[in-house]
Amino acid sequence: MCGIVGYIGPKAVDSVLIVGLEKLEYRGYDSAGIAYFDRNEISIIKEKGRIADLEEQIKKYPVEGHIGIGHTRWATHGEPSKVNAHPHMNRDKTIAVVQNGIIENYLELKTELKSLGYMFISETDTEVLPHMIDRYVKEGFDLEKAFVKTLHRLDGKYAIAMIGEKNPDRVYFAKDGAPLILAEGENLSGKKELLLASDVPAFVPLAKSAYYLNDGEWGYFDSTIHLFDRPGAQINAFMEPVAIKLEDISLGEYEHFMRKEIYEQPEMLERILAERIVNNETIEFSELKFPREYLSKVARFIIQACGTSLNSGMIGKLYLEQVAKKMADADYSSEFRYRNPVAGGDTLVIGISQSGETADTLAGLREAKSKFLKVLSFVNNINSTIARESDGVIHLMAGPEIGVASTKAYTAQLTHMLLFAYHVADISWLLTSEEKRDLIKELKTIPDKMRKILQYETKIKEIAERLKNRNSVLFLGRTWNHATALEGALKLKEISYIHAEGYAAGEFKHGPIALVSAEVPVVVVAPKGEMRTKLISNLQEVKARNGEVFAIVTEGDDELASLADAVLEVPESSEILSPLLTILPLQLLSYHTAILRGCDVDKPRNLAKSVTVE
Alpha helices by DSSP H, 428-504: 433-443, 446-454, 457-467, 482-496
- Identify the H or E element spanning 277: strand 277-278
Question: At its nearest, how many Å lie between ligand F6R and the CB of residue 450?
Answer: 19
324 binds ligand F6R (CB under 6 A): no
Alpha carbons 99 and 129: distance in angstroms, whole number: 9
From 23, 260, 326, 609, the catalytic residue: 609
* Nearer to ligand F6R among residue 99 and residue 311 (C-beta): 311
Residue type at 199?
D
Residue nearest to ligand F6R (CB): 307
* Choice between 9 and 307, CB closer to ligand F6R: 307
Which stretch in 243-251, 300-308, 461-469, 575-583 sits in contact with ligand F6R by CB under 6 A?
300-308
Q: Which stretch binds ligand F6R (CB under 6 A): 74-82, 233-241, 302-310, 516-524?
A: 302-310
Among left, alpha and beta (phi > 0; psi -120 to 50; other), residue 87 is beta
Query: Counting contacts by CB under 6 A, is residue 100 touching ligand F6R?
Result: no
Q: In the bound complex, what is the minimum distance in angstroms from residue 408's beta carbon to ligand F6R?
A: 11
- Shortest distance, position 304 Cβ to ligand F6R, whole Å: 10
Residue number with CB closer to ligand F6R (407 or 554): 407
CB within 8 A of 574, min separation 6: which ones?
442, 529
The contacts of residue 355 (CB under 8 Å, 6+ apart) are 379, 380, 381, 384, 609, 610, 611
Q: Report the alpha-carbon distance of residue 122 to residue 139 in Å, rounded.
A: 24
CB burial of residue 504 (10 Å; 0-12, 13-18, 19+): middle
Distances (CA, A) of 87 to 21, 38, 515: 13, 15, 47
Stretch that binds ligand F6R, among 78-86, 348-356, 418-426, 528-536 (CB under 6 A): 348-356
For residue 24, give every residue at least 6 positions away whose Cβ sits within 8 Å of its Cβ, in sequence order, or none.
3, 4, 5, 72, 197, 198, 199, 201, 202
d(CA 458, CA 589): 10
Q: Minimum distance between the CB of residue 206 and ligand F6R, rounded to whole angstroms? A: 25
Question: Binding of ligand F6R at residue 306 (CB under 6 A)?
Answer: yes
User: Looking at 309, 390, 538, 593, which residue binds ligand F6R (CB under 6 A)?
Assistant: 309
Residues 593-612 that bind ligand F6R (CB under 6 A): 611
CB 473 to ligand F6R: min, Å: 16
Residue 53: closest CA among 36, 34, 67: 34
Distance CA 503, CA 266 (A): 28
CB of 609 to ligand F6R, least distance (A): 7
Distance CA 407, CA 487 (A): 10
Decide: is 405 part of the binding site for ligand F6R (CB under 6 A): yes
CB contact at 8 A, 227 and 41: no
CB of 406 to ligand F6R, least distance (A): 3
Q: Which is nearer to ligand F6R, 132 or 525 (CB)?
A: 525
DSSP string, 198-248: SSGGGGTTTEEEEEEPPTT-EEEESSSEEEE-TT--EE----EE----GGG
HSE-CB for 490 with a 13 A CA cutoff: 20
- Window of 350-358, 473-481, 559-567, 594-602 that interacts with ligand F6R by CB under 6 A: 350-358
Q: How many residues does the chain have?
A: 614
d(CA 325, CA 346): 15
CB 356, min distance to ligand F6R, A? 7
| Out of 307, 399, 400, 502, the residue judged to bind ligand F6R by CB under 6 A | 307
Binding mask 472-491 for ligand F6R (x = CB under 6 A): ------------------x-
Asked if 494 interacts with ligand F6R (CB under 6 A), we say: yes
Contact between 308 and ligand F6R by CB under 6 A: the answer reads yes
Whether 609 sits among the annotated catalytic residues: the reply is yes
Question: Contact at 8 Å (CB) between 31 and 49?
Answer: yes
Nearer to ligand F6R, 4 or 365 (CB): 365
Q: Please report the DSSP string for 509-555 in residue order.
A: GGTGGGG-BTTB-EEEEE-SSTTHHHHHHHHHHHHTTT--EEEEEET
Q: Confirm or reject binding of residue 584 to ligand F6R (CB under 6 A).
A: no
Which residues pair with residue 220 across a beta bridge? 172, 226
Q: How far is the CB of 307 from ligand F6R (least distance, A)?
A: 2
Single out the segment in contact with ligand F6R by CB under 6 A; choices: 184-192, 261-269, 353-361, 501-509: 353-361
Residue 548 as a binder of ligand F6R (CB under 6 A): the answer is no
Stretch that binds ligand F6R, among 340-348, 352-360, 453-461, 513-521 (CB under 6 A): 352-360
Q: Does 347 bind ligand F6R (CB under 6 A)?
A: no
354 part of the interface to ligand F6R, by CB under 6 A: yes
The distance of closest approach from Cβ of residue 198 to ligand F6R in the complex, given in angstroms and rounded to an integer, is 14
Report the candidate in 78, 604, 46 with the shortest Cα–Cα distance to residue 307: 604
Site for ligand F6R in 203-242 (CB under 6 A): none
When binding is defined by CB under 6 A, the residue of 124, 358, 377, 573 that contacts ligand F6R is 358
DSSP for 10-47?
SS-HHHHHHHHHHHHGGG--SEEEEEEEETTEEEEEEE
Instruction: Return d(Cα 330, Cα 345) in angstroms, integer.
Output: 18
Among the candidate windows 48-56, 285-293, 355-363, 425-433, which touches ligand F6R by CB under 6 A? 355-363
**Closer CB to ligand F6R, 526 or 599, in the complex:** 599
Listed in sequence order, the residues at least 6 apart from 49 whose beta carbon sits closer than 8 Å to its beta carbon are 29, 30, 31, 32, 80
Q: Which of 31, 124, 355, 612 binds ligand F6R (CB under 6 A)?
A: 355
147 vs 378, which CB is nearer to ligand F6R?
A: 378
> How, if at all, do strands 374-379 and 392-395 pair?
parallel
User: 256 and 403 in contact (C-beta within 8 Å)?
Assistant: yes
Query: For ligand F6R, which is the closer residue by CB, 31 or 358?
Result: 358
**Candidates 75-83, 178-186, 306-314, 552-560 — which segment interacts with ligand F6R by CB under 6 A?**
306-314
Query: CA-to-CA distance for 345 and 209, rounded, in angstroms?
Result: 40
Q: Among 406, 415, 538, 578, which residue interacts with ligand F6R (rule: CB under 6 A)?
A: 406
Closest approach of ligand F6R to the CB of residue 516, in Å: 26
Q: Which of 2, 23, 48, 528 is catalytic?
A: 2
- Summarize as ranges the residues that interact with ligand F6R (CB under 6 A): 306-309, 353-355, 358, 361, 405-406, 490, 494, 611
> Which residues participate in catalysis according to the annotation?
2, 609
